[in-house]
Structure 1
Amino acid sequence: MAEEKNYRASTGVDEFYYGKIGDGIVATEIERVKFLQNINVEMPQEIVRAHGDNTTAEMAVSSGNVSVTSQFHKIPIEDKQKLLGWETVEGLTAAGSEDNPEYQAVVFAKTYEDGSREYVGLPKGLFTRPNVGGATKGQTTEFSTEEIAAQFMDRKVDGFTKDKSVIFAADGPTETTNRDALFLKVFGIAHPDAGTPTEPEGA
């Protein structure tokens, strides 16, 4: 008998990790940015038609750029320096037209009420600098948020016959097998807590 499919919808996001890979496939290190609030991965495709004799002769799928927009409670300046190639001198950090960000790999998790998780891996991409904004404090306190965007490209991933730009994995409550495998594929190094089960939501 076929295994029952999972139709649960995710209710949160967590575990945003990035690692500099440059032109290789192994990250120099893995960094986490906490307090991820929203993330959107766009993977556009369109059908391209060739015509002849007043009809469709052939169809093909054309894939667009994979883009990611992430919203955080706050992105620490140390992470902006690494993601965007910003220069720091005497405690001051600066952005300019000649900034040279390096390729990054990213993994984040979608969380479910039963404690299971679905992981999304993005093997190779570049981040673009976020806008700077602020607002006056009114009668009630409101927290600001920070948003950062990136675009990703295909990259050789060990075990796959063709280059990939997005990889998915899922683990049940307290399981980490597929998470750990995804980290090795995307970053080339293990998850910081490899072999440690994740706690179910609300635990």
Structure 2
Amino acid sequence: MAKGKNYKAFTGLSEFYYQVQGEDVSVVDDPERIKYLQEISVSKNQEIEKAYGDDVVAEMAVTNGTVEVEAGFHKLPIEDRTKLFGLEKSEDGIVAVGNDTPPYVAVIFAKTMEGGEREYVGLKKGMFTYPEDESNTKEDSVEFGSSSASAEFMEDEIPGFEEPKTMLLGHDEKGSTKARDSIWEAIFGEPKEDDTP
């Protein structure tokens, strides 16, 4: 008998990791975690194109674009901004923003459910763009700021699939890491180590 579908809603986010990819695929940084992911939206650009004839729709086709990601964090540390946006850092530790070209990055994050289940999302090859930088003065009560980042991801070769893919999805029951481990290896190109923070 087939197992029933899971209709539990997502109630949280966790485990946002990224990996900077060099021009030479063999030269990459280890995956890094950014803590305190607050919100994320992932949208795949698709449009339906129609061909007409005899005053009716004769045929339809779907055009596919990139996958867009908008992520909000409690804070995006300057070390992560430097890597994600391809910024230059001086010997004195000063980070400069200019007409920098961001590197390709890979990303994984988890959508969590109250019972401990998780759905993992992996994106293999994309670029983040430098965000707006907004801050407010302190007033009578404390208001916490936040940081955001936007990216677009493209198709890339992923082991186990015949055609290039943009995004991987996988579900783990509470206590299982099978989907996470498979997506981690497919996206980052290496098995997940137990001590990865």
- Which structure 2 residues correspond to residues 58-77 of structure 1 after superposition, within 5 A? 58-77=59-78
Q: TM-score, normalised by structure 2?
A: 0.93
Superposed displacement of residue 63, structure 1: 1.7
Superposed displacement of residue 23, structure 1: 4.7
- Which structure 2 residues correspond to residues 116-127 of structure 1 after superposition, within 5 A? 116-127=117-128
Q: Which residue of 2 aligns with 1:13?
A: 13
Shift in CA distance, 22/82, structure 1 to aligned 2, threshold 3 Å:
same
Superposed displacement of residue 13, structure 1: 0.2
What CA RMSD, in Å, does the superposition of the two structures yield over aligned residues? 1.6
Q: Does 1:142 align with 2:143?
A: yes
What are structure 2's unaligned runs of at least 5 residues?
A: none
Q: Does 1:177 align with 2:148?
A: no
Judge which range, 167-176 or 130-139, deviates more: 130-139
CA offsets 1:79-117 (integer angstroms, 9 cap, x no match): 1111111011112101101x1211000000000000010
Superposed displacement of residue 24, structure 1: 6.0
Shift in CA distance, 55/23, structure 1 to aligned 2, threshold 3 Å:
farther
Q: 2-side partners of 1:28 and 1:71: how far apart?
A: 23
Q: Which amino acid aligns with 2:12?
A: G
Q: How many residues matched?
A: 194
Q: 2-side partners of 1:24 and 1:186: how far apart?
A: 16
Q: 2-side partners of 1:20 and 1:147: how far apart?
A: 18
Aligned-pair identity in percent equals 45
Q: Which amino acid aligns with 2:14?
A: D
CA offsets 1:20-58 (integer angstroms, 9 cap, x no match): 123566643100000000000011322111112222221
Superposed displacement of residue 10, structure 1: 0.5
Shift in CA distance, 18/132, structure 1 to aligned 2, threshold 3 Å:
same
Shift in CA distance, 24/6, structure 1 to aligned 2, threshold 3 Å:
farther
Q: Structure 1 segments of 4 or more deviating over 6 A?
A: none
- Which structure dedicates a bigger proportion of its chain to strand? 2
Q: 1-side partners of 2:25 and 2:160: how far apart?
A: 13
Judge which range, 157-166 or 56-65, deviates more: 56-65
Q: 1-side partners of 2:165 and 2:118: how far apart?
A: 21
Q: 1-side partners of 2:25 and 2:2: how far apart?
A: 36
What are structure 1's unaligned runs of at least 5 residues?
A: 197-203
Is residue 25–residue 188 contact of structure 1 (8 Å, CA) maintained in 2?
Answer: no
